[in-house]
Amino acid sequence: MAIKIEMLRCFATVADSGNLADAADKLGRTPSALSMMLKQFEAHLGAPLFESERKSKLTSLGVFVLDEARRELVHFERTIAAIESFARAESGFVRIAAVPSVAEAILPRAVRDFLRDHPGVRVDIRDMDSQAVLRELEEERVDLGLATSTGAGAEIKHDALFSDAFGVVCTAGHPLTETGQPLDWTALQPWPFIVNGVCEHITHQDFRHILDGSHLMVRNTTSLLALVRAGVGVTVLPRLVVDGAPQGLAFVPVADPDARRRIDILSRAHATLSPAALSFDRVVRNAAREIASTW
């Protein structure tokens, strides 16, 4: 027979109460049930725990077992509390990798709402480009990714979070802003064009000619916008990126309806998210819907 946690709880309660009746009331059991459990416990140990049937005085073995039982019961209760807390997403951690525009525009609201309801959970956020997000997921360094899923393998699960339109980004007052109409890609031909990482998602043939004629590639969004604002050239970015951009820049829509960027919520296909990560998944979806509804 193995010693069970209920045996230790029964023994400790009887020892602290000094009698079976009071211990039975505390545990919601009958005195006879406690008596039988104690006899089984003593039979397993091969020696008595109490000096008499009245249970008012412990043997030397009983004193030792009581100290150990109290320590184990405290540890058991803490373990159960930790397990239940983790299961209710009251503790644990969530690791997020997101493209910078999502980290800036959507995550602040999502993290605020999440931590309000889950103050005991630790959140780790990293911003990087989409390919780096996919690598972080594949190598199990993050739980959730917020990025474009182009190039994702079968091991990555992806669900659409939102999409936003690409547009031309130029200085405020640039001639491209004067038409008041969405631009054809050919309208960019007279102007120096700065290529960036998201340009690969636009497949229109006229835009490919613009890329072929460019001599400048900038991958960092902050540097890219600084160059545009300085008048070095124009570029193309999703609307969400420019919504948080510095003053002095303009976003001009394009006439290509297919020129849209899709942001997905990504996770490992064959891994179960922790309760905290599942809760964050729901919160970030809500935040994305609320923000997208304002466009």
Residue 184 — φ and ψ, nearest 5°? -75, 155
Tens place of pLDDT per residue across the chain (295 aa): 688 899 999 999 999 999 999 999 999 999 999 999 999 999 999 999 999 888 889 999 999 999 999 999 999 888 887 787 777 777 888 999 999 888 888 999 999 999 999 999 999 999 988 889 999 999 999 999 999 888 788 899 999 998 889 999 999 989 999 988 999 999 999 999 999 988 988 989 999 999 999 999 998 888 999 999 999 999 999 988 887 666 889 999 999 999 998 999 999 998 888 999 999 999 999 998 887 777 6
**Domains in the chain and their CATH numbers?**
5-87 (1.10.10.10), 93-162+261-292 (3.40.190.10), 164-260 (3.40.190.10)
pTM listed for this prediction? 0.70
- Cβ proximity of 146 and 163 under 8 Å: no
In terms of DSSP bridges, do strands 144-147 and 260-268 run parallel, antiparallel, or are they unpaired?
antiparallel
Q: Which two tokens stand for residue 104?
A: 């800036």
Q: Which two tokens stand for residue 48?
A: 């008595």
Q: Which two tokens stand for residue 49?
A: 């725990």
Report the pLDDT value the prediction gives residue 115, as an integer from 0 to 100.
Answer: 93
Q: How far is CA 221 from CA 87, 180, 227, 235, 244, in A?
A: 39, 26, 10, 11, 11
Beta bridge partners of 265: 146, 159
Three-class secondary structure of residue 68 per DSSP = helix
Q: How far is CA 19 from CA 31, 35, 47, 54, 294, in A?
A: 9, 10, 19, 6, 69
Instruction: Give the H/E segment covering residue 145.
Output: strand 144-147
